[in-house]
Amino acid sequence: MGIQRGVLPVGQRDGARAPRRLAFGSVRAGIGGRFTSPTTAEAATRAGLTSIGLLGTAFTMEQDFYRDRFARHGLRVLIPSADDRADVHRIIYDELCLGIVLEPSRQKYPDVIARLIEAGA
């Protein structure tokens, strides 16, 4: 498997996936890990990344907790614009937590990820 643009699923464990994902520009396909910042940071670093994009709840994206932990591994963390953060947060709570995925939301995430990649993630 080569290097490709993609998303590093976090929370993947025994086939399960959490709705949180780290988007980034280049990663080896198939890298996963438990949802812990050290595990995720190590996987991103092994993939040769220096910048990553962070998607999650508003708290996850806006508070320093994850950004600081990734920074300790030499990673720059980019988050979506305020409008994109609001959409991502709403989709998580109003849809994913309820087992719903509406088509506009399914289309929104790749757009948000593309903007993070354009910004250097």
Q: Is the pLDDT of residue 32 over 70?
A: no
* pLDDT category of residue 36 using cuts at 50, 70 and 90: low
Q: Is the pLDDT of residue 29 over 60?
A: no
Task: Give the pLDDT confidence of 70-118 residue by residue, as tens digits.
Answer: 888 899 999 999 999 999 999 999 998 888 889 999 889 899 999 999 9
Could you give the percent of the chain with pLDDT greater than 90? Answer: 31
Contact criterion met (CB below 8 Å) for 8 and 40: yes
User: Under CATH, to which class is 3-118 assigned?
Assistant: alpha beta
Domain ranges of the chain: 3-118
